[in-house]
Amino acid sequence: MIVDLRSDTVSRPTAGMREAMLQAPVGDDVYGEDPTVNELEAFAARLFGVEAALFCVSGTMSNQIAIRAQTQPNDEVICDRLSHIYLYEGGGLASNSLVSVRLIEGNRGRLTAEQVAAHINPDDVHFPVSRLVSLENTVNKAGGVCYDLDEIRRIKEVCLKHGLKLHLDGARLFNAIVAQGSDPQDFGRLFDSLSVCLSKGLGCPVGSLLLGSKELIRKARRIRKVMGGGWRQAGMLAAAGLYALQHHIERLQEDHRRAKLLGELLQAHPDVQEVYPVETNIVIAELRAPLKAHKWQAALKERGILISTFGERAIRMVTHLDIHDGHISFLSEVLPRFSIQKEHK
């Protein structure tokens, strides 16, 4: 048995999703003529209570477009130091938008309104213009933790007071929505732009959505084209997105339940120092020194269990559409019988 816990991006389209993809009416989306893409964008905009949406290739692309559309060269973007937009998008903020970044050390990747307010530059020629605040929900690097909606409301007030735009990297926003029982419209109301991945927990082969005002999405469509992201009969992919929004949201609870079980298994393991609190579908554990994450990864791989490393000592496991209770039982047999401590003696 192979248990692939490296990421929620590894899931494969379900039979129902593939069927929806095969049946999708398509057209040329650069001409605005793909009925399925148009339906997905309209459906998503309604779901979040915003004016418009744009179907993009990836979460990186929709984040980068959102930032480009809402900044000028030399502006500054405020975000947590663990942010995907800073750590894992290849430095795209610099090359795509020519902006600098103000990194804040939040609480497991989450900022407070006071922290945001304290890092807005004064109106002085020495400083870049603080233009946009970017939040991530859930926070990947901190183990899938969720933002408190009230804190986001307070951050929004700070942004309004200082004329800053507010962006959400919601690659796993639906995990937060399901875990907290919130409403997509709560988020649609608060953010100027939202990026939501379809290819993570929702199980699509490809795609992310950028959501916002008509004006923002009009600009975003131009930027997407410049980046080479204008696609043609993308309706087959959009059909997967529509299917996921209609069938795969509630079931995220299953992923969260299984992630909690994994967290408990790891917590009880002699090689593990600490497991980050498990709120959604990501489990991060720190191994005891001097154990090395890549050794754990290699030893588990021999047993058919694939995981990611997150730095020298941390490992990450992510549950998703293709992880079932049988896989968790398999892990509950394998993990307690396995340790790399002997290799270090």
Ligand X SMILES: *Cc1c(COP(=O)(O)O)cnc(C)c1O
User: Looking at beta carbons only, is 116 or 198 nearer to ligand X?
Assistant: 198
Query: Which one of 136, 192, 255, 286 is in contact with ligand X (CB under 6 A)?
Result: 136
92 forms part of the interface with ligand X (CB under 6 A): no
Residue 287 main-chain phi, psi, to 5 deg: -80, 160
Binders of ligand X in range 98-117 (CB under 6 A): none
Q: How many residues bind ligand X (CB under 6 A)?
A: 13
Beta carbons within 10 angstroms of residue 103's beta carbon = 15
The residue among 180 and 332 lying less far from ligand X, judged by its C-beta, is 180
Burial of 95 (0-12, 13-18, 19+ CB in 10 A): exposed
Asked if 169 interacts with ligand X (CB under 6 A), we say yes
Pick from 191, 205, 166: nearest CA to 57:
205
Q: How far is the CB of 156 from ligand X (least distance, A)?
A: 20
Amino acid at 120: I
217 sits in which H/E element:
helix 214-226
C-alpha distance from residue 343 to each of 143, 222, 270 (Å): 28, 55, 14
Of residues 29 and 136, the one with the C-beta less far from ligand X: 136
> Exactly one of 44, 197, 242, 245 binds ligand X (CB under 6 A); which one?
197
Task: Between 187 and 272, name the residue whose CB sits nearer to ligand X.
Answer: 187
CA pair distance 103, 110, nearest whole angstrom: 12
Give me the DSSP letters along 25-76: ----GGGT--HHHHHHHHHHHHHHT-SEEEEES-HHHHHHHHHHHT--TT-E
**228: DSSP letter:** T
Rounded distance between C-alpha atoms, residue 123 and residue 30, angstroms: 41
Which residue's CB is nearer to ligand X, number 200 or number 221? 200
CB-based closest residue to ligand X: 59
Longest Cα separation, the chain: 65
In angstroms, rounded to a whole number, what is the distance separating the alpha carbons of residues 27 and 42? 16
- Residue 171 in the binding site for ligand X (CB under 6 A): yes
Least gap, CB of 286 to ligand X (angstroms): 20
End-to-end Cα spacing for the chain: 30
**Contact flag: residue 202 with ligand X (CB under 6 A):** no
Q: Is 58 in the site for ligand X (CB under 6 A)?
A: yes
Q: Does 130 bind ligand X (CB under 6 A)?
A: no
Q: Give the binding range for ligand X (CB under 6 A) out of 10-18, 58-66, 156-164, 233-241.
A: 58-66
Closer by beta carbon to ligand X, 244 or else 265 = 244
* Minimum CB distance to ligand X smaller for 84 or for 313: 84
Binding segment (CB under 6 A) for ligand X, from list 18-26, 42-50, 56-64, 232-240: 56-64
Q: Which is nearer to ligand X, 86 or 243 (CB)?
A: 86
Q: Is 59 in the site for ligand X (CB under 6 A)?
A: yes
Q: Determine, following the binding rule CB under 6 A, whether residue 64 of this chain makes contact with ligand X.
A: no
Which residues are near ligand X by CB under 6 A? 58-60, 63, 84, 136, 140, 169, 171, 197, 199-200, 208
